Each structure stands twice: as structure tokens, then as C-alpha cells.
Amino acid sequence: MNALKNAVQMQGRNAQVMGPHSIRVTRSYDAKPEKVFRAWTDAASISAWLTKGEYASADVRPGGLFYLEMRGMEKINPHYGRYLRVESPQLLEHTWVSEWTHGKETVVLIEIAERDGKTELTLTHDGLPTEEMAESHRGGWSGFLDELGPRL
């Protein structure tokens, strides 16, 4: 059974080009899982909290594409990827490519679960190319997840 689970988790990943580093960040929110999931799948919501008003598009279905413009270091930084798994409202997995991954395809897994009357979100970002990039992404994702709470 574990082999099957691992095969499903690796489906759609381009493991040959992914880097060796991963990070994991967890937050708890006073919102229903459906609302937390929608924050990640509705383009207007993504634009409001993740890209801070910059452009976002999302075709949220397995194989669908997303594109985000995120401002940083005094310029627009494009981020893009494709959705691997969409299991509303508990799981969203997509690739993630940007200048900050050295153009390599990485994978972001968002797991959402109801716990003790709150919604727990765990974000795992696999395949980062260097330890420095992993720590940079940990800081970035931590900040974004902190900003998401008040918007829910």
C-alpha cells in the first residue's frame, strides 16, 4: 500500500530535475476548510493575499495552469506551474517555477484539515535547488501564510 501511495504522490512530478531540499510550514486558522481552500483556488483571492494586488490566473484542475506576478526586489517576478492534484477542500498540489527556484520545477503541497474547531494548513515545498533557497522559501511562505489569516 505504501508503494501505491508513493506512486500517487509522485504522479506528475519531474523528480529528475527537482532539487534535494524541502521545507514545511504549518498554520492554524479560524475559518472553515472550504474557505481556506478557496483562498488558494480563486484568482481574485490569490491576487489579494498572495500576489498583493498583482496579476494572478488559475485554472484549478489536474493539468490546469496558474500564473502569478509577485513584486519583489523592485520588479515583477513571474511564478507559474501546473496543478497535479486538486481534492477540495483538503489537498492542493502544484508545481512551482520561478527565478527563485533557479527555473527548476518544484512542488508545493497544501494539506488542509479540521482540528479542534480550527483549520490546520500544512504547506510542504519539495525540490528546492539549494539550502539557501529552501530557507528563503520558508521565510516567504511563513509570511504569506501569516497574511492569509486576517483575510479569511
In a 3-state reduction of DSSP, which class is residue 96?
Answer: strand
pLDDT band at 17 (very low <50, low <70, confident <90, very high): confident
Higher pLDDT, 15 or 36: 36
d(CA 94, CA 61): 10
Average pLDDT score, the chain: 91
- DSSP annotation of 61: S
* pLDDT (0 to 100) of residue 18: 87
pLDDT band at 43 (very low <50, low <70, confident <90, very high): very high
How many CB atoms neighbour CB 36 within 10 A? 24
- Architecture (CATH level 2) of domain 20-151: 2-Layer Sandwich (3.30)
d(CA 80, CA 97): 5
Q: What share of the chain is helix, strand, coil (3-state, %, to 5)?
A: 30, 40, 25
Query: Angle at Cα 128 formed by Cα 38 and Cα 53, nearest 5°?
Result: 40
In a 3-state reduction of DSSP, which class is residue 119?
Answer: strand
User: Does the structure show a pLDDT above 80 at 41?
Assistant: yes
How many CB atoms neighbour CB 45 within 10 A? 18
Q: Give the mean model confidence (pLDDT) for residues 125-152.
A: 96
Segment holding 80, helix H or strand E: strand 75-87
The string of pLDDT tens digits covering residues 19-30 is 899 999 999 999
d(CA 49, CA 152): 10
The string of pLDDT tens digits covering residues 59-111 is 999 999 999 999 887 899 999 999 999 999 999 999 999 998 999 999 999 99
* pLDDT (0 to 100) of residue 11: 57
User: Does the structure show a pLDDT above 60 at 10?
Assistant: no
